Chains A and B, each alone.
Chain A
Amino acid sequence: MAVTFYKIATVTVGSGGVSTIDFTSIPSTYTDLKLVISGRTTNDSGWRDYFMLRYNASSSSIYSRIYTVGYDASTYVSGSASAQSYHTAGVMSANDSTANTFGNCEVYIANYTSSVNKVISMDFIAENNNATAYMLGANAGLWASTAAINQITLYPYNVTPTGNFAQYTTATLYGISKS
């Protein structure tokens, strides 16, 4: 029986936190990649914190996205960002959110080794267990590079991290093969 959904690597953040989570030497043997994150940061940031992705350690201004989010007291908005040096992939719980809450995010990268620009789907949710503080959203991302993706780096809050990913944050990278 074929197995086509492989765990490439898992990172579980230990005591004290880490400023980045890095998946390196990603093999080129799969069709798609899926990154699943359960995260929290050490920043006091109004209960939720953004987190960023870079591919192949590239800081070139070739990241863009369209997003739609719903948050807090029945607010929803769609916006876009272009010529960025990173993808704002989503939000996770911040240090001042309810204890033991973690945000969740799924990132899907189709055809990550192809020689065309990469389309990236990023979905996220953070919940704070009160009446008015939550966020969920969906990103349509583009990394305008024809290079195969062999590295993915996660940053809390900013690509110049203000804080850390908190203890018990987990990130798992899966490879998916269509044959």
Chain B
Amino acid sequence: MAGTYEPIATTTLSSPSGAVGFSSIPSTYTDLIVVASIKMNSGTPNINLYINTIDSQSYSSTLLKGTGSATTSSRNINKYGSGGGAPIGEATTEWGIATLHFNNYSNTTTYKTILTRITEPTNATMASVCLVRSTAAISSFVVQADSGSFVTDSTFTIYGIKAG
């Protein structure tokens, strides 16, 4: 069986942290998928995606969120700064799942689009799309909370997908 869904790296937090990143991502795959089990130590902060250490007004994102009582959509343009990149959803003090899809991440011709789903059973169900206006291959990224920290035992695994 050809290896087309390979774990590249896993980070399991041994202490709380407000940000988790991966660097030196090989360019040998077609797509990347990140699966994270996350929980915050306080609050319900925005979670931001910060790519290739790009810290400029190069991000935009659109979010869809259902809370159980309302469905809302929000738009973020040219986000950057200490929070890092573009908002892709939120996390809270319950365990949730976040999946991020980096499609065609290593091409050097197009801007990059990232699709995210965040599942938090008593808080919200969320989906988002993020665009970073850079043609560089994605070799690193950081998932960062606006405030608070991901708790100990939060895990982040990055998989490489090959089209053939």
A-B complex is real: yes
What 1/0 flags go to B52-93 for Cβ under 8 Å of A?
A: 000000000000111111110000000000000000000000
A77–B124 Cα distance when bound, in Å, is 13
Binds B, one of A12-20, A52-60, A137-145: A137-145
Asked if B46 is at the interface of the complex by the 8 Å CB criterion, the answer is: no
Across-interface contacts of A2 in B (CB, < 8 A): 3, 6-7
Across-interface contacts of B10 in A (CB, < 8 A): 178-179
Binds A, one of B14-22, B115-123, B142-150: B115-123
| Of the residues A5, A68, A120, contact of B4 by C-beta under 8 Å | A5
Across-interface contacts of B6 in A (CB, < 8 A): 1-4
| Of the residues B3, B71, B97, B159, contact of A77 by C-beta under 8 Å | B71
What 1/0 flags go to B125-146 for Cβ under 8 Å of A?
A: 1110000000000000000000
What 1/0 flags go to A163-179 for Cβ under 8 Å of B?
A: 00000000000001111
Most B CB contacts (10 A, CB to CB) among A1, A66, A121, A176 go to A66
Which residue of chain B has the shortest Cβ distance to A31 in the bound complex? B157
Asked if A152 is at the interface of the complex by the 8 Å CB criterion, the answer is: no
Which residue of chain B has the shortest Cβ distance to A78 in the bound complex? B66
A2–B159 Cα distance when bound, in Å, is 11
Across-interface contacts of B159 in A (CB, < 8 A): 4-5, 176, 178
Across-interface contacts of B64 in A (CB, < 8 A): 68, 138
Which residue of chain B has the shortest Cβ distance to A32 in the bound complex? B35
**Is there contact, CB below 8 Å, between A68 and B71?**
yes
Count residues of chain A with CB under 8 A from any CB of chain B.
37
Across-interface contacts of B4 in A (CB, < 8 A): 3, 5
A119–B4 Cα distance when bound, in Å, is 26
Across-interface contacts of A121 in B (CB, < 8 A): 97, 99, 117, 119, 125
Asked if B2 is at the interface of the complex by the 8 Å CB criterion, the answer is: yes
The secondary-structure label for the interface of chain A is: strand
A69–B125 Cα distance when bound, in Å, is 10
A1–B117 Cα distance when bound, in Å, is 28
Query: Which residues of A66-84 have CB atoms within 8 Å of chain B's CB atoms?
Result: 66-70, 76-80
Across-interface contacts of B95 in A (CB, < 8 A): 116-117, 119
Asked if A41 is at the interface of the complex by the 8 Å CB criterion, the answer is: no
Q: How far apart are A110's CB and chain B's nearest CB, in angstroms?
A: 5
A5–B68 Cα distance when bound, in Å, is 32
A2–B157 Cα distance when bound, in Å, is 15
Across-interface contacts of A140 in B (CB, < 8 A): 96, 119-121, 123-125
Asked if B37 is at the interface of the complex by the 8 Å CB criterion, the answer is: yes
Across-interface contacts of B66 in A (CB, < 8 A): 66-69, 78, 138
Q: How far apart are A40's CB and chain B's nearest CB, in angstroms?
A: 25
Query: A66-B67, A78-B67, A138-B66 in contact; A3/B3 too (CB < 8 A)?
Result: yes
| Of the residues B65, B68, B121, contact of A119 by C-beta under 8 Å | B121
Across-interface contacts of A64 in B (CB, < 8 A): 121-122
Nearest first, the 4 A-B pairs at minimum CB distance are A68-B66, A1-B3, A5-B5, A142-B121
